[in-house]
Structures are given as structure tokens and as C-alpha cells.
Amino acid sequence: MPQHRYLLTEDKIPKRWYNIAADLPTPMPPPLAPDGSPLQPEMMTAIFPMELILQEVSQERWITIPDPVREIYALWRPTPLHRAAGFERALGTDCKIFYKYEGVSPAGSHKPNTSVPQAYYNAQAGVRRLATETGAGQWGSSLALACELFGLECKVYMVRVSYDSKPYRRVMIETWGGECVASPSRETNAGRAILAEHPDSTGSLGIAISEAVEDAATREDTNYALGSVLNHVLLHQTVVGQEAVEQMQMAGAQPDVVVGCVGGGSNFSGLAFPFLAQKFAGADIRVVAAEPASCPSLTRGVYGYDFGDTAGMTPLLPMHSLGHSFVPPSIHSGGLRYHGMAPLVSHLVHTGMVEARAYRQLDCFEQAVAFGRAEGIIPAPEASHAIRGVVDEVERAREEGVSKTILFNLCGHGNFDMSAYQQYLSGEMIDSDFSQDELDHATAELAQMPALPA
């Protein structure tokens, strides 16, 4: 019988996170204060604990994972590496396809890999409460779980349109003891200002971030937590790739291509960074980031300084951006609906270490259904972009007459996304592309920002 899953025992949960900043062939531009001046650490201490700030700026290659964090990781880690034998057969390819499956976490995705250490460091620092934003709810539920496990309160500002139309992630947050409010809310100045102007606002991730940051900045007992984009978040996700390196060795295989989907960049980085370390050392590995065609920050966005949120409250980050006022269309991959991209991922794409591709929603769902029928697991819509990227690689291999080994991150299951599958199966799913007007708008908006260092 061919082997399907490669499992590691609990003692193989990584003991350290891998900090790719230590190995970058060229240095990253620094973040700036909102007014363009150098960013002072004090601007961060109001909303983050010192340990996370130190990780954000660290140049150390390895950062020790605290035992209490590893102990909670052990509830679901190490996660399995699967050989996608059924999907290979369905595609009729002689490429070898492997996937790391992060959907086995209690929240159903990779997000708890960072919510757990973030809650831990905040609890250690004496913080009593965390505030955050969430779109479809993957991140909000993961933070609620982590807060519950470390005895913190958790307040989640959930984008109104998701709060109303997808209530089950909200119930999950509440089941884990978190408090969830629709954003814009009447609980913050930011929320009230929006509601005064737009009483029927359906909200956006940008507005919800503003509310959560304001909550954290104005309450002594509260800090803020972010589920992607920042260096320390991507750092925490590297447990995924470190395990995968070991599991690929168990399988006697070495990936020619590593693929992940990108929104803010965290699941992609988690798998890819440990393999990029091999690439920096000379290994022949291609790394591909797959993003939605309707929110294509890497393939169509501008590389420059931009705000992380819509209201311009965050530092300026060096990243590929569609402009901080860009509101992505309501595709089902809520986790990929972000105007910017993690600075680390942007830098790696800018320097040619990572390739980026954009895929349309309908094409992604077509492959997600094919994958679910062949492998059993119904993928999260976000992960379907990675699957579409894999199929692309399989097609290229066929054209080139070669066989490749392809590894991708199946970052979550689709149990909370069945309404999206219903739309797809009934032929009612619509698609949208990024327009020239939107590109012009992004270009104009980024042109007003400080320039990147040469």
C-alpha cells in the first residue's frame, strides 16, 4: 500500500521559530511612522508586548518557542503531510504532489500557530485583554481560542457583512468565550464616525482594524493582535515549513516547487520560509505565491510605502499594495481580501526569490471541488488558490515533458464555507477582475507616500 500521510511524533514539534530576516540576501526597507519619520519603538509598546516587538525587529535566525506554547501546539501539531495520490490520479499526472494540512487545528486553519504565542506573550506581560478585527472569522475564532486557553478576555470586531451573513464563526468565537461585535460599532470613535456618515455601513477590514487598534490604544488593560502581515506573525507560522522539511525527508522527496496562497502572507510564509532558507543556500527550489485575480497586490499592485489599514492609523509598511482605500470585491476567500501584503513577502517577490500568480475565483473553485472529490478534504476557498497554482505547475510540467515534485499548503478546511460551494455548484458564483481604474487609483494613492530607499 502506498503511503498517504507522513506523521511526526509530538517531540518533533519545532523548538524554535525560523526568522528569515537573518538570511535575507538583501536587507528590507524599514517601516516608517504614519508621518514618514522613523518609527519609534514607543509607538508599538502601546499595543504590543515587548517580546513581540523584539521578535518584529529581530535579526536572530532562531527564536525559542516557549514550552507553554509548544504544549498547546501539541493539541494538533505536528500536522500531517499528505501525498495527494488521489488528486494526482484525477489530474492524470506523473508529478508528485504533497500537501501540508493545517485544517486539523481546532479552529480549522493555520491561524492558531500565531494566536497562541501572541496570547501567551501578552498574558506573560500582564495584559488582561486582547482586541482584534476579523473578516470571515478565521482569525477572530483562533484568537478567541488562544485567549481562552491563557485566561485572557478577547474582543473581536467583525466586519458587519460577515457578522450578519456568516454567523457560525461568530458563534465559534462566543463558544470559546470571546466577545464579538459587528463593525462598525458604536463602541469606538472610529466606528461611531463611520456610522454617523453611513448608518447602513456593511463595514470593511480596514474599519475593523481601526476599531480594534483604538480599543487597544485607549484601554490600559488591552493590547492589539494581528493575524498576518507583520514579521512576528510570519515568524510564528514557520513551524509549518519546519515540520514539512522533515516530513518531505521521511517521504524521500524534495520539492521542486513550493506553493501557497497569499492574502496577508502568513500561511504562505509559514510553509515557504524554511524552504527559502534552502534556496538561499543554493537549493534548486521555486516558490510560488497564489493570489486572487480580484485582489492582486503582488501581480498588479504598486511596491511602496502604504498604511496597513484604511484610516491611516498604522505605521507605513514597505509592501505591494492596491492602495489603503481599496475595498476588495466580496469574493469568498475572506482571508485573501487585503489591500496590501506582508513586507517580507513583498520584499521576496521584489527581489525575485518568490514568483507571484493571480487566479480567478471560478477557476479556483473548479479545482477545489476536484480536489475534494479525490482527496476527501473540502478546502477553504483561500486554499483553493494554492491548489489552482499546483494545477498550473502540473500543466507546465506536462508541456515541458518533465515530472516535478510539488508541495503546497492546504491551510484550512471549508467546513464554514459551504455556502460558497453551494453558489459554485449551482452556477451562481460570479467573478471579477482588478480594473485599470482601480490600478490607476492605487498608483495615484501610493505616489503620495514616502518613496522607498533606493
Task: Tell me how far apart the alpha carbons of residues 386 and 289 are, in angstroms, rounded to a whole number.
Answer: 8
Other beta carbons within 10 angstroms of residue 97's beta carbon come to 28
Smallest distance from its own copies to CB 101, Å:
10
Residue closer to its own copies, measured from CB, 98 or 273: 98
Residues that bind its own copies (CB under 8 A): 1-5, 7, 9-10, 67, 70-71, 74-76, 82, 86, 104-108, 145, 148-149, 167-168, 171-172, 174-177, 369, 372-373, 375-378, 415-416, 418-419, 421-422, 425
Smallest distance from its own copies to CB 378, Å:
6
Residue closer to its own copies, measured from CB, 84 or 258: 84
Residue closer to its own copies, measured from CB, 150 or 268: 150
Residue closer to its own copies, measured from CB, 144 or 345: 144
Smallest distance from its own copies to CB 86, Å:
8
Residue closer to its own copies, measured from CB, 1 or 196: 1
Task: Tell me how far apart the alpha carbons of residues 284 and 275 are, in angstroms, rounded to a whole number.
Answer: 10
Task: Tell me how far apart the alpha carbons of residues 372 and 378 are, in angstroms, rounded to a whole number.
Answer: 5
Give Cβ neighbours of residue 60 (< 8 Å, ≥ 6 apart): 19, 22
Smallest distance from its own copies to CB 168, Å:
4
Alpha carbon distances (Å) from 5 to 81, 144, 149, 244: 6, 30, 29, 12
Smallest distance from its own copies to CB 157, Å:
19
Q: Which residue has the cell 499526472?
A: 93
Smallest distance from its own copies to CB 285, Å:
27
Beta strands 222-224 and 129-134: pairing type? parallel
Residue closer to its own copies, measured from CB, 90 or 195: 90
Cis omega (within 30 of 0) on the bond before 184?
Answer: yes
Give Cβ neighbours of residue 420 (< 8 Å, ≥ 6 apart): 332, 365, 381, 414, 429
